[in-house]
Structure 1
Amino acid sequence: MSLAIAATGAAALQERCEVTTLRTMRGSLTYGDHAVVPVGPWTKITDEMEGSLTEPAAMIRDSALVELVKPPEPIALGTLTDRLGDPDALYLGQANAPADTFTTTGNHENEGRRIGLHVDNWDKLPYATKHTARRRLCLNLGPGTRYLLLGDLDIRVVCRTVHEDFAHRYPHTDDLRQFIDDGHLMLCFRLRLEPGEGYIAPTELFPHDGSTEAQPKPSTAAFWLGNWPRGVLPSLI
């Protein structure tokens, strides 16, 4: 499955979306070995890329769709998900990202070294059902701008590329690292989120991370996990 982003206008997505490819890190003091990161430089997406991202959106299941959203103000974090369609939605907490950080997620078990693009595993689903996992809602609390980084291939495609016994696997970030190490191409899209803006995305299905690269202010993000239908929050694009 390829990445799909819900959008009503091409110009709105192209204005906030850039693209590059991915590589792995070795011998870094700030990243774990084989962490997957953007290559750079970032370039604006083309009309063709915009179409490849938005045209599949109407045909895929809601759990596989990326949405850029703008919750109504004033935003009450404690009750934000109460009317979004999943009474069992889980609040995951907040994460602080310093200014000008290439990727944001660190590994507390590895001296805080950053893990690069990765897939979540809250639902612990095997290959056959990985695409049904809950989506994550993220809200940028500011004060700075941040980015959502997304690989364009889902982790099941990656898993079956690097493992002959993929059907019996639990697709994992290590599969992504092997995929990139083996020389396979994956595009990485960067979506800009201003304070008060957010996303709902299948972070257990698509490689992702946050970024504050070249941004002068830090950013705090709040996260929830839930089974939400598309369109539960107003779209940014």
Structure 2
Amino acid sequence: MTCNGSPPVGDMPSLMTFREVETLFHETGHGLQHMLTKVDVGDTAGINGVEWDAVELPSQFMENFCYDKPTVDRFARHWETGESLPDELFDKLLKQRTFGAGMMACRQTYFGQLDLELHSKFIPGGEETIFDVQKRVAAKYSPHMLPVEGDRFLTAFNHIFAGGYAAGYYSYKWAEVMSADAFAAFEEVGLDNEDEVKRVGRKFRDTVLSLGGGSHPADVYKAFRGKKATPDALLRHNGLD
């Protein structure tokens, strides 16, 4: 992996920010899916051929370990003293994770639904303009932050008009649902229960990380979890349950 991390400053070594650590864990998830694939056909090996609904599952799943204190204590140490990350600082990391989570959830569901409306139902020259659709969807999903008169956010919504996410922006939030539900499998057996964590980890490796795009992601996920993903774990992680 090639990452743009914080460079050294003066006599200090390169020290990663917490956001950079999250990014490293995230990209490691993609790397694991490539390295552990058991699919022989290149077009469906690793992350290749995996629907956008599920392609971010392994990466966002890995980010959860950044909020597990025993995991963080294994690497987060002061570069001069070797002291592990103090509990009070780790508590602040946990609190910033849920700060504004409700508004962010509204924002993402608003964007996702707006994308679907424009790409599946909007009729050019019909009764509604694209800006009418924007206001209608915003009123349902983001009533606390309605578009002001003259708002032209849509002209800069590059994800769905120039970035390849047309009718697929919802996958951002859906990937969060799947990754949280997958991590819950480890929480349910106890993150401090090493034998059980290894057992669940091997199952995750043999399904999500190894089957690539050769199987439908819903079937792959059910093979790992034994059920469909639900938003319960994500709501809990975000402090919204």
TM-score bracket, normalised by the shorter chain, equals under 0.3
**Whose helix proportion is higher, 1 or 2?**
2
TM-score by length of 2: 0.25
**Whose strand proportion is higher, 1 or 2?**
1
Greater RCO (Cα-Cα under 8 Å, separation 6 or more): 1
The structure having more radius of gyration, on CA atoms, is 2
TM-score by length of 1: 0.25
